[in-house]
Amino acid sequence: MTIRIKIGIVKEALNATVLEGEVQLEETVEHIYASDLMSDVLAFGLPNSLLLTGLATKQAVISAHMAEFKGVVFLRGKCPKDGADIYARDKHLVLLSTKHDMYDSCLFISSALNEKHHESVGTVEDQTVGDIILKEDFTIGGRDFANAGMVSTEMKEILKKIGFPHELVRRVAISTYEGELNVIMHASRGKVQLLVSPKLIEVVIEDEGPGIPDIALAMQEGFTTATEEMRALGFGSGMGLPNIKRNTSDLNISSEVGKGTIVYMKFQVQEP
Amino acid sequence: MTTKELIEKLGLKPLSKFEHREIKGIFISDMVSDVMTGAKSGNLWLTIQTHKSIVSTANLADLSAIIITSGKNVPQETIDLASKYNIAVLSSSAPTYELAIKLHDLGLDKG
Amino acid sequence: MSKCHHQWEMTNVKYGFVTFDKCFRNNAIKTNFSSTDTPGEEYREGDCIFIRVENAQSFTFDLHCTVCNRLESFKELMGLLQCTDCLPECPVEVLQKEYAIKNTWIFVAFGYLPEANTKPIPDHKLDILTVYFNQRRDTSRSKIKIVPFNLIQNLSRCKGEFIHDVGMLSAEPPPQERKPLL
């Protein structure tokens, strides 16, 4: 389950004492790991997690650090007394102590997540086909040529990590890159949303810009409104819409002149 | 809620032979010391520990059932000992944190 | 004089470690409680050479009666062990078979060794402990009974399971078989 919650919010939710790491309360964690068995933390813990544990020892903090966790919450009022705080300070880990037990702590954190509407998504194994397992948002700056391709590159990494087939990831990356370029070339700003389900990847690119007056025309090969400058930079032999269409399972464009454009791309995950 | 209803609602896998009983509260920990000091009679115990000493612990604390989370493999020795003492050992593929939320969503409170 | 029907609760819980040191030459065992994790170094005592064989997370506690305020310390309790039917002639196993018919499970109380060999936990304390654990359970289903460890026929052959936390800090996943401690 990937989430996004500030450690400071967890501290409030658990009414916890900060043993170490006051300055790091602004940091965000993406997973909650509830365990007292450090071999499990080491084997299965994901980076940027928060450990909830009743094992109040320095070794627990060391294990959390090795698993690239951001902090440890000691439960049931326990506090390590063996130099764990000094170690945590050195490694920039947050240590909290709460009087609550593991069940209550899990519930308080979950409650805080729902309240703050943080992105909270389910795990692959628990979801049925069609349920979103990952949602990521990106921004694109208009005229930000220096960063052209940053979003599509990041997206490619995410999809690769999840384990989607190479060919599919390439198609998503190309399509997103074309869309990203269009925003940079023509719009004042834009945002990209990636929605991943086990069988479907959706990319929505929405911009604030001049809009496309004639979408059918723009869908023709070679059509471009790129300026000389953009062409010189190598970005503009076309708006890329036909290229996007070729690489997607479904493409939907809606636009309003003077306002902006929404490009909706759908990529079906084929059975191998 | 009884262990029978819980198994059905969550799709848990029963591993040992046991009589169904009413679940009264939830206790989560991988440390038997914590179970001894904090768990109450009838508690449903969530843990990733699978060694047969969890059966002795559940027995001593009179717990209603043990759910082994995260899809951990449970050795036959543990299952056999649990069956001997009529203690429910159930398996869930969900990690502990997620299972805690699911249990709460089912209306099970700490007890 | 009216007798108090004690209602016991666990109090003064202190977490710490129980260490098991063993001399393989003489099968001697030494156990201790420490509030901090202490590294085990080989040491000599008489003609015994002791090696640390286990370091378990554990706790000490007192029992407090909520009715009359009586406090019973259980500092000398090292741990509880459940009989796993390894020696048919062992008095604990014989007792277990007898009590099983009454849905009562036997747990063995250990004091710290070797002192507890000569100074065992008094019977009245084990009775209080039994009452406490039974007060904590639904006795219509089952009960427990706590007996002293000197009932165990052969300590060095006992394969009973201690109820304590071991291997919590290990980087390796816990092994299915634990090494016998006694």
Structural domain count of chain B: 1
| Mean pLDDT in residue range B3-19 | 94
Homologous superfamily of A134-268: Histidine kinase-like ATPase, C-terminal domain (3.30.565.10)
Nearest to B100 among A33, A106, A125 (CB): A106
Q: Has residue B49 been placed in a domain? A: yes
Domain boundaries along the sequence of chain A: 5-116, 134-268
Phi/psi of residue A94, each to 5°?
-90, 135
Beta-strand ranges (E) seen in chain C are: 8-23, 28-34, 43-45, 48-65, 71-73, 77-82, 104-111, 143-148, 161-162
- Residues in chain A, pLDDT under 70: 116-130, 222, 226-239, 271-272
CATH class of A5-116: alpha beta
Whole-angstrom distance, CA of residue A87 vs CA of residue C55: 22
Distances (CA, A) of A23 to A27, A32, A49, A77, A89: 9, 20, 17, 22, 10
For this complex, say whether ipTM is above 0.90: yes
Within 8 A by CB and 6+ apart from A78, the residues are A54, A56, A97, C15
Considering only A79-88, B64-73, C83-92, C172-181, which range has the smallest mean pLDDT? C172-181
Residues of A in contact with B49 (CB under 8 A): 37
Which of B36, B101, B103, B104 to mutate: most A Cβ within 10 Å? B101
Q: Which of A17, A24, A67 is nearest to A46 (CA)?
A: A67
Burial A150-167 (b: 16+ CB within 10 A, else e): bbbebbbebbeeeebeee
Domain boundaries, chain C: 8-162
C82 to B31: CB separation less than 8 angstroms, yes or no = no
Distances (CA, A) of C14 to A207, B103, C71, C126: 61, 30, 16, 20
Measuring CA to CA, which residue among A27, A108, A96 is closest to residue A68?
Answer: A27
How many CA atoms does the CB half-sphere of A49 hold within 13 Å? 24
Q: Which residue has the tokens 């939907």?
A: A252
Task: Judge contact between A146 and A235, C-beta under 8 A.
Answer: no
Over residues C25-64, the pLDDT tens digits come to 888 889 999 887 777 788 898 889 998 888 888 999 999 9
pLDDT of A128: 41
**H or E element: which one contains A250?**
strand A250-256
Q: Is C91 on the interface with B (CB under 8 A)?
A: no
State the count of interchain CB pairs (< 8 A) between A and B.
67
- For helices A150-162 and A166-186, the axis angle rounded to 10 degrees is 160
A67 to chain C nearest CA, in Å?
A: 11
* pLDDT single digits (tens) B41-99: 999 999 999 999 999 999 999 999 999 999 999 999 999 999 999 999 999 999 999 99
pLDDT > 80? residue C182: no
pLDDT for position A125:
38
* B61: Cα separation from own chain's centroid: 12
Nearest-10 Cα torsion for B42, B43, B49, B53:
-30
Is B53 within a domain?
yes
Residue B71 lies in a domain: yes
Cis omega (within 30 of 0) on the bond before C120?
no
Contacts of B104 (CB under 8 A, 6+ apart): A106, A107, A110
Domain that holds residue B17: 3-105
Sign of the C-alpha dihedral computed for residues A88, A89, A92 and A95 taken in this order:
positive
One DSSP character per residue, A98-146 reads -SS-HHHHHHHHHHHHHHHT------TTTPPTT---EEEEEEEETT-GG
- Give yes or no for residue B23 having a pLDDT over 90: yes
**Mean pLDDT value across chain C:** 89
Q: How far is CA A191 from CA A37, A217, B46, in A?
A: 42, 24, 42
**Does residue B80 belong to the interface with chain C, where contact is any CB pair within 8 Å?**
no
The rounded distance, in Å, linking the Cα atoms of A193 and A140 is: 11
The answer to whether C114 touches C28, Cβ cutoff 8 Å, is yes
Question: pLDDT value at position A271?
Answer: 62
How would residue C91 be classed by pLDDT, with cut points 50, 70 and 90?
very high
pLDDT on residue A214: 85
Q: Which CATH number fits the domain that encloses residue B27?
A: 3.40.1390.20
Q: Which tokens in the block code for residue C73?
A: 């310390």
Instruction: Give all chains having 3 or more CB-to-CB distances under 8 Å with chain C.
Output: A, B
Question: Is residue B111 situated within a structural domain?
Answer: no
Which has the higher per-residue pLDDT, C98 or C180?
Answer: C98
Higher per-residue pLDDT: C167 or A228: C167
Burial C35-54 (b: 16+ CB within 10 A, else e): eeeeeeeeeeeeebbbebbb
Question: Would you say the C-alpha torsion C19, C80, B62, C64 has a positive or negative sign?
Answer: negative
Tokens of A113: 């997540």
Output the CA angle B91-B96-B99, nearest 5 degrees: 75
Report pTM: 0.72
Is the pLDDT score of C177 beyond 70? yes
Q: Classify C8 as helix, strand or coil.
A: strand
- In this predicted structure, the answer to whether residue C180 has a pLDDT above a threshold of 80 is no
CB within 8 Å of chain C, chain B residues 23-52:
30-33, 36-37, 40-42, 49-52
Residue B41 Cα, gap to closest chain C Cα (Å) = 5
